[in-house]
Amino acid sequence: MVAITTERLPLRPTRAIIDLSALEENYREIRKGLPQGVKVLAVVKADAYGHGVVPVAKRLESLGCDLFGVALCEEGVELREAGIKVPILVLSGFFESQVEVLPRFDLTPVVFHRSHLPLLNRAGEVEGKRIGIHLKVDTGMGRLGIMPEDVPSFLRDLSSYPYLYLEGVMSHLSEAEDEEGAFSREQIERFEGTLETIRACGFHPSYIHISNSAAIFNLKAHYNLVRPGIMLYGSYPDESLRGKVDLKPVMRLVTSILQVRRVPEGMPISYGREFVTRRESLIGVIPIGYGDGFPRALSNRGFVLVRGRRVPVVGRVCMDLTMIDLTDIGEVGIGEEVVLVGRQGGEEIRIEEFARLSGTISYEALCRIGPRVPREYI
């Protein structure tokens, strides 16, 4: 019996279409807003926010992107094995069992605890190379980081390890989307004070960075490196940024109609009978559900596009299937295109709206679109 692999199977019509030219436009738009000499670290963690990390990174590397940011060592290794050459920063640190991976694959760790130092030094000694680290300072995020008052003693410890050096200093802003930015300004002041301390201790790191996507345009705390993430993929972290930078959505989520049925008034649709038709209705079924990242929260409140018009989701979203009410569209055939995120004709559903109706943010909505949804690159 011959085994059937997924490579041999025709793909179902549910797919995420990734427009790499839109990614390129967004990257250039972000660079355009930066002072000369400021470098860009493109955040490509979580499979490039669901867009496919290898194709995205290869396109950005070809455009001259300076560094990549991942969350996990595994993500960095994936990029190296795909042939990515530019520096890769592991933003969420590492576990002791992974420490040897860092110098072996030339990955730069973010360090936020002094216990990291002896582990890294030993790994550097084994590989015969010095390891550059980026020190993370907690200026108010309350997540990972060394407190500013602990930085001098941390640097004294660092000085005792011959295979380590301070390549970068960073922090993270908790309210960068806030246009007023009062707390962000407090964080920046703490960061400035920490930088003064670091220089007074005789350290002069090559990279200084605090700005994520929103901060690049809201706060302009660029230093010499910025970390755009969600904006690369065409989503605004806050509506106030829409007039400051022109972004193009990179992902279009589409499927096709699997079945169309005309049903009578009073017909319950899907689990729990939460939706019952109030008139004779034309109900379509589409092959996508919460197992693909089309969330159950869109039951009876979401929309899709058919023939360039908004069509409501009716009944509970299932794991693999979703029902839509086509009554006002007219006769629609099996196989017709349905757009869940993106533009069709003169109408558009942006990822921000999709996320809001789902009760979440665009970051999570994009990352939820799972691996069984094929990515198609154009």
User: Does 133 share its domain with 209?
Assistant: yes
Split at pLDDT 50, 70, 90, the class of 12 is confident
The Cα-based distances of 353 to 209, 239, 350, 356 in angstroms read: 31, 11, 5, 5
Would residue 271 show up in a list of annotated catalytic residues for this protein? yes
Q: DSSP letter at 137?
A: B
Residue 182 is which amino acid? A
Is the pLDDT at 64 greater than 60, yes or no?
yes
Last residue in a domain, options 173, 208, 235: 235
Is the separation of the CB atoms in 26 and 231 below 8 Å? yes
User: Does 230 share its domain with 259?
Assistant: no
Identify the residue whose tokens are 């017709």.
Answer: 336
The Cα-based distances of 303 to 9, 55, 277, 313, 358 in angstroms read: 30, 30, 17, 5, 11
Residue 52, domain CATH: 3.20.20.10
DSSP of 267-321: -EESGGG-EE-SSSEEEEEES--TTTT--GGGTTT-EEEETTEEEEEES---SS-
Is the separation of the CB atoms in 327 and 365 below 8 Å? no
Give residue 80's region: left, alpha or beta (phi > 0; psi -120 to 50). alpha
* 182: in domain: yes
User: Does 134 share its domain with 158?
Assistant: yes
Residue 185 is which amino acid? R
Catalytic residue among 39, 45, 49, 236: 45
Percentage of the residues of the chain whose pLDDT score is greater than 70: 98
Indicate the pTM of the whole model: 0.93
| Segment 220-241 mean pLDDT | 94
Split at pLDDT 50, 70, 90, the class of 7 is low
The domain tally of the chain equals 2
User: Does 267 share its domain with 166?
Assistant: no
Split at pLDDT 50, 70, 90, the class of 69 is very high
User: Does 72 share its domain with 196?
Assistant: yes
User: Does 52 share its domain with 193?
Assistant: yes
Q: What is the pLDDT of residues 139-155, one digit of tens each?
A: 999 999 999 999 999 99
User: Does 273 share its domain with 370?
Assistant: yes
User: Does 177 share its domain with 293?
Assistant: no
Q: What is the pLDDT of residues 75-113, one digit of tens each?
A: 999 999 999 999 999 999 999 999 999 999 999 999 999
User: Does 170 share its domain with 259?
Assistant: no
Expressed as residue numbers, the domain containing 42 is: 20-235
Would residue 233 show up in a list of annotated catalytic residues for this protein? no
* 309: in domain: yes
Split at pLDDT 50, 70, 90, the class of 33 is confident
Residue 358 is which amino acid? S
User: Does 224 share its domain with 268?
Assistant: no
* 243: in domain: no
pLDDT at 8: 61
